[in-house]
Structure 1
Amino acid sequence: MLEFDFSVIQWILLAVCGMFVGMSKVGIPGVSMLVVPTLAIIFGGKASTGILLPMLMMADIFAVSYYHRHAEWKYLWKLLPWAFVGIGIALWVGEVVNDIWFKNIIAILVFLCIGLMLWKDRRKGNNLFPDTLWFAASMGVLGGFATMIGNVAGPIFAIYLLAMHLPKNSFIGTGAWFFLIVNFSKFPLHIFVWKTISWHTLTLDLLMLPGIAIGAFLGVQLVKRISEGLYRTAVIIITALSAFLLLI
């Protein structure tokens, strides 16, 4: 039987992370930004990505099962090839840097994504980016790099879809398929190249499945009740503090 040497506080944090992952896929995407630095603090930068990925994959299945019919595939075909280029770059970077630098890169990417979220909010309905190849390519490479290094491509991908003026259901459905494809593609890379996924880590991920399911249910309920402004402010502040801890 596999044993996990975690304190009570660490088990609680892991359960909360599972819930946040579930919530992030059903309408509260910013919550997942809290999970990345938390797991990096517990497991280390590179190892944490292998812990989080299967959790995201399980949550992606929930999301696709609800929103699969709403995907806008023409935008996916523009983005996916460039995202795989970004994944390849991140794969190389992850092999040549130590864990301290790995955590620093994750923290920097988290701060970048927070900046993108704030910038997007300030721009509101204004769209500065045309539907061009260079924009899809740049967002794809940056998103692919961010998702491989730290599973933090959500805000980057959101910027691209918002620039395309997709309606709500198409936004969620397109994102659900994008991350399902990308995350399942990353899975063998984590096993055979980075060696961050094993039977031991997968067992831990399966233990988080009830929390992910509960989070998905709570996410649907919270979206109906919580003020979006209050929610986004709290997520940004807590996420920034968590990312700052990675730099210490």
Structure 2
Amino acid sequence: MEQHFLGLNLIQWLLMGLCAILVGMSKVGVPGVSMIVVPVLAIIFGGKQSTGVLLPILMMADLFGVLYYRRHAQWSYLWKIIPWAFVGIGLALWVGEVVNDEQFKNIIAVLVFICIGLMLWRDRKKGQQFMPDQWWFAAGMGIFGGFGTMMGNVAGPIFAIYLLAMHLPKNSFIGTSAWFFLIVNYSKFPLHIFIWKTICWESLTLDLITLPAIGLGAFLGIKLVKVVSDKTYRAAVIIITALSAFLLLV
């Protein structure tokens, strides 16, 4: 690869550390903060290449989330959506090969805005049945989520809609999300290496350097989640998701 991953300047190293902290926080339940990481890394490394830099950081952070919230996962919801997520990953794998960097970011932004619309529409229908028991709802969210996670590691807002529709309490929401992303992110790893070629030894070395910052973020995130109510947590998911969508267009 032509990208020299370890030849970053001081500002870029500081941004990498901040990104790792935010990813660590997001994996233990601070909603949406890792979305900020996507445009920051895209500025440093370029759109598609940044997905390969971010993925191993997410994989390391996934372990923190699963270890801490592993007993809270609702597997019945996971089995409904994971097969469809792999369909979305396959579709994104092809699309990522035929679009340029600008189109890459725009596709993700459109997906997130669609999801925000669904979130707001659902809140207006509060008290009414919102299709969570329909197979096509899980299928649609799975394909969107798989597509989003492969294209830009931004499936968080999409998967949040699926879980919010199930009315899961905070810990179940976090635990189910943690397992979902551990499964899909580890599945994506060989695709980035052998097909997109966005991961190499040098980029992996860069990612390993961020491990202490990921751990710090996880520690801070656990402390923060303990003092946030379910109502506040849900509001934060929706608000930060909306802000994140705008960041993708910057």
Q: Same fold (TM over 0.5)?
A: yes
The 2-side partners of 1:156 and 1:3 are apart by 30
Paired letter, 1:214: L
Equivalent of 2:140, from 133, 138, 141? 138
TM superposition shift of 1:136: 0.9
Same amino acid, percent of matched pairs: 68
Secondary structure of the 2:8 match is coil
TM superposition shift of 1:103: 2.6
Q: Does 1:160 align with 2:162?
A: yes
Gaps of 5+ in 2: none
TM superposition shift of 1:162: 2.0
With over 3 angstroms needed to count, the CA separation of the structure-2 counterparts of 1:244 and 1:43, relative to structure 1, is same
Residue 65 of structure 2 corresponds to which residue in structure 1? 63
Paired letter, 2:97: E
Q: Deviations over 1:8-28 (max 9, x none)?
A: 221111111000000001120
- 1:1-248 to structure 2, matched below 5 A, reads 4-116=6-118, 127-224=129-226, 228=232, 235=240, 239-245=244-250
Paired letter, 2:110: I
The 1-side partners of 2:128 and 2:213 are apart by 38
The 2-side partners of 1:7 and 1:182 are apart by 32
Instruction: Give the CA RMSD over aligned residues.
Output: 2.5
Paired letter, 1:78: K
The 2-side partners of 1:17 and 1:210 are apart by 12
Secondary structure of the 1:94 match is helix
Q: Deviations over 1:104-151 (max 9, x none)?
A: 223333444554555566666654214121111111111110111011
Number of aligned positions between the proteins: 244
Gaps of 5+ in 1: none
The 1-side partners of 2:5 and 2:143 are apart by 39
